[in-house]
A = this chain, B = another copy of it.
Amino acid sequence: MVEPSGLLAGDTRGVAKALSVVERGGREAEELLRGLRGRVGRARSVGITGAPGVGKSTLVQSLGLALLKREERVAVLAVDPSSPYSGGALLGDRVRMPDFLSAGGFVRSMATRGALGGLAVAASDALDVLDAAGFDWVVLETVGVGQDEVDVASEVETVVVVTVAGMGDDVQAAKAGVMEIADVFAVNKADRSGADAQVAAIEGMLALAPPADWRPPVVRTTATTGEGVEGLLAAMLEHQHFLDGGQRRREAHRRRARRRVERLLSALIQERMRTAHREALALALAEVGEGDVDPYTAARRLLDGFCKERP
């Protein structure tokens, strides 16, 4: 059992221990989260997402350093889709961002969680842990561009989508999947030819979007030299300032609460299905596997055996 006390005192070992608890999941994680009630909601959260190879890690390190220079406490949570099989060993926390670490930043990688709710639940819980531990900023870095990443990115207040020129059609398509969630666009490797065209392409897509109160700025960065990182930080701060207007930050937190509850509920339902309703499930699966029943018919029958019509 992890006591919230060490965590709340902001002690690094307590934080690391608490993060391991939420990564493992289970009852202990639930208890920990219950203990944090009323102590979260202060940290600013930023997600950095984009296709592999665009230079997210270098950009996150530069951003982290820029925030540390402003005397902010900064934690980076890197979410990797690496499997238990590879054990997340490919990206060691310490190897990834040496300058950020030696300047006093906190880094933690998080791999797939087998337990209740998977990676998005674990990442969301980790965000609360870092928030309660007193970090001013939590930067969530995601690897990849699938639904997982969209899910994880939607946990944060400000989403930065990183793209780069000249990676081919696939990247264009991948980018399209995260267009709606971007609050800021960074075109990284801005010293490359094609960067202007990339900026123009994104601005072209934005021009087609329905009008909204916030229009995502498009910022050029060269993470390896640090060029443009201050501009990116300014765009992030501008979006944070925007969130302070009206009920926007509260609404963002409510949306996050909705997603968390829905995700947990869905995981709990699956768990109960696999335990209390195990035999009905096994029978249905055998019938579909043999081609005797189509999957829709089987799923509807199971639903009726499982769900109350009314609360």
Contact = CB atoms under 8 A, between A and B. Distances in A.
Interface of A: 30, 33-34, 36-38, 40-41, 51-57, 80-83, 85-86, 88, 90-91, 96, 112, 118-119, 124, 143-149, 167-174, 176-177, 179-180, 205, 209, 250, 253-254, 257-258, 260-262, 264-266, 268-270, 272-273, 276-277, 279-280, 284-286, 288-289, 291, 293-300, 302-303, 305-311
Contacts of A124: 295
Contacts of A119: 147
Given A147-B146, A266-B266, A272-B303, A177 B293 contact: no
A33 B298 CA distance: 12
Contact of A57 (B80, B169, B273, B279): B169
A294 B106 CA distance: 26
Number of copies of chain A assembled together: 2
B266 A309 contact: no
B147 A30 contact: no
A192 B117 CA distance: 40
A226 to B, nearest CB: 18
Contact of A148 (B53, B146, B209, B291): B146
Contact of A52 (B52, B261, B279, B311): B52
Contact of A293 (B37, B51, B143, B288): B37
A247 to B, nearest CB: 11
A149 B262 CA distance: 22
Contacts of A148: 146-148
Given A53-B167, A260-B295, A295-B33, A173 B307 contact: no
B305 A265 contact: no
A86 B201 CA distance: 12
A52 B269 contact: no
A295 B24 CA distance: 17
B143 A173 contact: yes
A270 to B, nearest CB: 6
A153 B145 CA distance: 16
Given A90-B172, A146-B144, A168-B53, A285 B41 contact: no
Contacts of A297: 34
A83 to B, nearest CB: 6
Given A295-B257, A303-B269, A180 B147 contact: no
B173 A80 contact: yes
Nearest to A31: B296
A293 B257 CA distance: 10
B265 A176 contact: no
Contacts of A258: 285, 288-289
Contacts of A53: 51-53, 167-168, 170-171
A128 B177 CA distance: 26
